[in-house]
Chain A
Amino acid sequence: MRSLFIDTSSFFMFLAIIEDDHILVSKQEEILTDMASKIVPTIDSLFQKVPFEIKDIDTIFVVNGPGSFTGVRVGVTVAKTIAWALKKKVIPISSLEFLATTPVSTKYCVPAIDARRGYVYAGVYDQELNVIVGNQYILLEKILPYLQDGTLVSRDHLEDSIEPSVDVLEIVHKHQNDAGVNPHELVPNYLKLTEAEENRLSKE
């Protein structure tokens, strides 16, 4: 099985072409601006390094959030356009579950992404990536109880967090037999309404 893995949900762009249990080629780059203008050139350059073309892949994995709204949209737009155009299977991956592939020595792994104003996007996973607490938008202090036997994993330098060291093969292996979604229905998982929607709801 050949697949393209796309993660643009944070300030890191991660792209990989995977064949069976091997990463053939990958690129991880810190990108602070203009993620959108870098993703297609990077995909193009990666496919120049493998002996097949993008139309020869079977599956696209895309990290669809939570995370940077703009970043997630860029990855999802690329993934759904490829999946629709080339009629490929597309499988959405949670950014938090991807972070949870980081090896930890505790019972739980608690991936978190800074959502500002004291909030984080977070979840709790065990060592086999089983969901203990589902992904949510939550006050950071409310996940602290899980850290008694868990490790906080974050790119955002949260207090007592460790830097992630993600394992793309683990996540691909876990999800490669997922059913996939209709490309038209592939959407970001923001985990949060827009401010305008929240304000409108609170008035009702």
Chain B
Amino acid sequence: MNDVWILGIESSCDETSVSIVKNGNEEIATVVLSQMDTHANYGGVVPEIASRMHVENITLVIEECLKKASMKMEDITAIAVTYGPGLIGSLLVGVTSATTLAYLYQKPLIPVHHIAGHIYANNLEQPMQFPLIALVVSGGHTDLIYMKDNYSFEKIGGTLDDAVGEAYDKVARVASIPYPGGPLVDKLSYEGEDAYSLPTPLDDTSYNFSFSGLKSAVINLVHNEKQRGNTINEADLACSFQTRVVDILTKKTLRALKQYHVNNLIVAGGVAANSGLRNRLKTLCEENQIHLSFPSLKYCTDNAAMIAAAGYFAYNLGRKSGYDLKAKATDVLH
């Protein structure tokens, strides 16, 4: 079989990234240009600034990636690009550049759903084994997905309100922890104890999640303590919050694995970098003989290697687009 070299482009939020992946599992070169430092000045991603920075950097990042790989566009088999979901202005830059390249070099253009990318980041570690359950946890998603085979996505549950990463950022803001709050809350939680009484969110028989109640409970707690003139122990608060989040995520994930008779679990998305979640899942999966896979930390945040990896499987299934590929702010994973 001929080798397949996919050039992936990702620009759905605040990272401009380009990567070349061989046969869906071997990363040849990846360049990620993060705008995080800029957006940190505003306490979060500013969509218009993100779009402006993508257009400034897109060709530089493509060139840098090809250079790093010592390859030319002519060597590429197909071009994969995140078409959605994400910030529409940001997505448009990647999609427009990818479409132009596909036209100029007469290469197949492969649209990739951002979440499919996060899931296939795991394939860069070791070949994914099916059937599997994917727990997708990020700033925009909290989903449980059953995959019978490659590119077969059956969503069995998801968040009804805030995504888990979003809840982390909001809690961090209330506790005056700087942006991006998620990683800092995770770190702080190890320095504290589960001393605050917080509810376990949506502890029911479904596979859905809800984090807005837990988030409100944290906001009320901080507010009440302040009114009483008490200082908040940030580390304890981080620990109590993280404990409730990890409790419910792992509980529902394990139940899904049992009910679907699946013993492969993959975790994907930015919150897959959360050490509290990683450690608890490692222990639970060992106890239950579940084969567990996490992306390496560099593939947890947005990157184009995961898009190129997913793009390989989409390409093999003939999922090509014409030059009229539309970016989509929202789209169901399919």
Contacts and interface: CB of A to CB of B under 8 A. Distances in A.
Contacts of B62: 84
B103 A34 contact: no
B100 A187 contact: no
B92 A84 contact: no
Nearest to A42: B323
A162 to B, nearest CB: 31
A80 B97 CA distance: 9
B63 interface: yes
B191 interface: no
B174 to A, nearest CB: 22
B25 to A, nearest CB: 27
B52 A190 contact: yes
A40 B55 contact: no
Contact of A54 (B48, B104, B324): B104
B122 to A, nearest CB: 31
Interface string A183-200: 110011010001111001
A189 B185 CA distance: 40
A44 B104 contact: no
Given A37-B326, A38-B324, A196-B49, A85 B42 contact: no
Nearest to B109: A40
B41 A200 contact: yes
Contacts of B260: none
A188 B55 contact: yes
Measured as residues with beta carbon below 8 angstroms from the partner, the interface class of chain A is 20 to 34
Interface string A162-193: 00000000000000000000011001101000
A81 interface: yes
Contacts of B326: 34, 36-37
B326 to A, nearest CB: 5
B59 interface: yes
B268 interface: no
Interface in A93-147: none
B92 A73 contact: yes
Contacts of A184: 59-60, 63
A51 interface: no
Contact of A80 (B49, B52, B59, B322): B59
Interface in B60-103: 60, 62-63, 73, 89, 92-93, 95-97, 99-101, 103
Given A77-B55, A80-B59, A194-B49, A86 B96 contact: no
B48 A194 contact: yes
Contact of A196 (B46, B95, B327): B46
A8 B296 CA distance: 41
Nearest to B46: A196
B325 interface: yes
B55 A76 contact: yes
A76 B59 CA distance: 11
Interface in B281-330: 322-327
Given A36-B326, A73-B89, A78-B96, A197 B101 contact: no
28 contacts: A34-B326, A36-B326, A36-B327, A37-B325, A37-B326, A40-B96, A41-B322, A41-B323, A69-B89, A70-B92, A73-B51, A73-B52, A73-B89, A73-B92, A80-B59, A81-B96, A81-B97, A81-B101, A82-B100, A82-B104, A84-B62, A85-B73, A85-B101, A183-B59, A184-B60, A184-B63, A188-B55, A196-B49
Interface of A: 34, 36-41, 43-44, 54-55, 69-70, 73-74, 76-78, 80-82, 84-86, 183-184, 187-188, 190, 194-197, 200
Give 6 closest A-B pairs by Cβ, nearest first.
Answer: A40-B323, A81-B100, A194-B48, A196-B46, A84-B59, A77-B96
